[in-house]
Amino acid sequence: MRLYEFQAKKIFADHGIKVPNGCVVNSPVEAGKITEEFGVPVAVKAQVLMGGRGLAGGVKFAQNPDEAQKLTTHILGGSLKEEDINCVLVEEKIPIETEYFAGVTLDYHSKTPVVIASSRGGVDIEKIALEHPAEIVKEKIHPPLGLTDFQARRIAKKNGLKGRNMLSFATILKSLYSMLLDLEATLVEVNPLALAADGSFIAVDAKIVLDDNALFRHHELLSELEAYKKIPTEGVKFRKSLAEKAEIPTYIELSGNIGIIADGAGTGMLTLDLTKDLGGAVETYCELGGRATPELIEEAMNIVLSNGNIHVLLINLIGGLNRMDEMAKGITSFLSKNTKRLELVGKPEIIVRMSGTLEEEGRKILGEAGIGSFDNIYDAIEKALELSRRS
């Protein structure tokens, strides 16, 4: 889970990294007021979680309060790549001498944290890596040792820094590394890290991505983040937010009339591949993970079928940890509660494929409710395709 820039900057400041004077606001009037207080040109930055914000027009500069107010009105009224904008960060514009890149992330290959730094800051790191691979310094951190002072200095030096600048840069790397550990983040990055005229380094942007699996140890951060999220009330964003709330691992909408619910990532992707290979148009891909409960599959059916484009729902289950008796209970429970609703939306066809742990028990429960099921994945997909063509 990514943090907003203003949240990340607060954490940066708490860890001793200098950030521009700034204030997060959600109205144009406030933006004007803040700019007046600062008394200098400002940057007005949309607070969104997507990448590539600058290129998409989410960062503007204002010379005076009036201009800041106008820009804020414009930014708050729009969205960036379909992401709603709830607030902007108004901050002093920094006169930049040189731009650097500094980040710490986890390297899954070596199973260690890794520091990445470059004197080519200001642009996408992927782009630097492509165009100037030699100008990216990458060093693995030996986990028990952590990032040592000398290693941080060496990385700074490799980026062409000397004297006091080398030492300040090394201090920043150390702070980024300790943030990664403290927050259990998967990425802590600053780009650009500006070297100001007075010789100090300032984090002009800040990016922190937390490990979703470790959020249970960081409740405060999580609730703060939730407070700034706009809750959607309709459409695909709404269905996605419901899936997230229900802790459904994957919910994706594509384009078509077939919905897929699967109980494993590998077989889910296989179902998607085979359905598309055979000419099917998949509208929804929903995957329940290896520890699904009756309630989870019932909620998944609720969410998937609340999309009116679905004419055929293909449920592909092959359980190891997932018990087919439990999956069958969830399916029959959904159907018994939704008879009327399904009639109203024109009765989507529901195809169930069931195999694996306690499959006989599962089939029996389905059978008692008058629901047939397939044993073979291809038979189920072919049936779903046949029905989807009819609709």
Given the rule CB under 8 A, which residues bind another protein? 106, 108-109, 111-113, 126, 143-144, 181, 184, 186, 211-214, 216-217, 249-250, 252, 254, 262-270, 272-274, 276-277, 282, 287, 289-291, 318-321, 323, 355-357, 359, 377-378
Q: Please, are residues 66 and 32 in contact by the beta-carbon 8 Å criterion?
A: yes
Compute the CA torsion angle 11, 12, 17, 21 (nearest 10 deg). Answer: -90
| Residue 205 or 263 having the CB closest to another protein | 263
| Residue 91 or 189 having the CB closest to another protein | 189
Integer CA distances (angstroms), 85 to 43, 61, 132, 208, 231, in order: 16, 17, 34, 19, 12
Distance CA 310, CA 346 (A): 10
Integer CA distances (angstroms), 128 to 107, 119, 148, 165, 318, in order: 18, 10, 26, 22, 44
| Residue 79 or 250 having the CB closest to another protein | 250
How many Å is the Cα radius of gyration of the chain? 26
| Residue 43 or 354 having the CB closest to another protein | 354
Least Å distance, CB 276 to another protein, is: 4
What DSSP designation does 204 have?
Answer: S
Angle at 11 between CA 129 and CA 50, to 5 degrees: 50
Least Å distance, CB 50 to another protein, is: 10
Least Å distance, CB 146 to another protein, is: 12
Distance CA 387, CA 258 (A): 10
| Residue 104 or 166 having the CB closest to another protein | 104
Q: Please, are residues 253 and 282 in contact by the beta-carbon 8 Å criterion?
A: no
Least Å distance, CB 341 to another protein, is: 28
Least Å distance, CB 377 to another protein, is: 6
Least Å distance, CB 225 to another protein, is: 17
Contacts of 153 (CB under 8 A, 6+ apart): 166, 167, 170
Least Å distance, CB 233 to another protein, is: 23
Say how far residue 215 (Cα) sits from the centre of its chain: 14
| Residue 88 or 272 having the CB closest to another protein | 272
Q: Which two tokens stand for residue 330?
A: 């969830």
Least Å distance, CB 246 to another protein, is: 15
| Residue 121 or 264 having the CB closest to another protein | 264
- Amino acid at residue number 305: L
Q: Which two tokens stand for residue 346?
A: 């024109």
| Residue 196 or 274 having the CB closest to another protein | 274
Integer CA distances (angstroms), 157 to 132, 176, 363, in order: 18, 17, 66
- DSSP secondary structure, 374-390, as one string: BSSHHHHHHHHHHHHHH
Least Å distance, CB 285 to another protein, is: 8
- DSSP secondary structure, 219-270, as one string: HHHHHHHHHTSPPP-SHHHHHHHHHHHTT-SEEEE-SSSEEEEESSHHHHHH
| Residue 290 or 372 having the CB closest to another protein | 290
| Residue 68 or 315 having the CB closest to another protein | 315
Least Å distance, CB 28 to another protein, is: 32
Say how far residue 340 (Cα) sits from the centre of its chain: 36
* End-to-end alpha carbon distance in the chain: 39
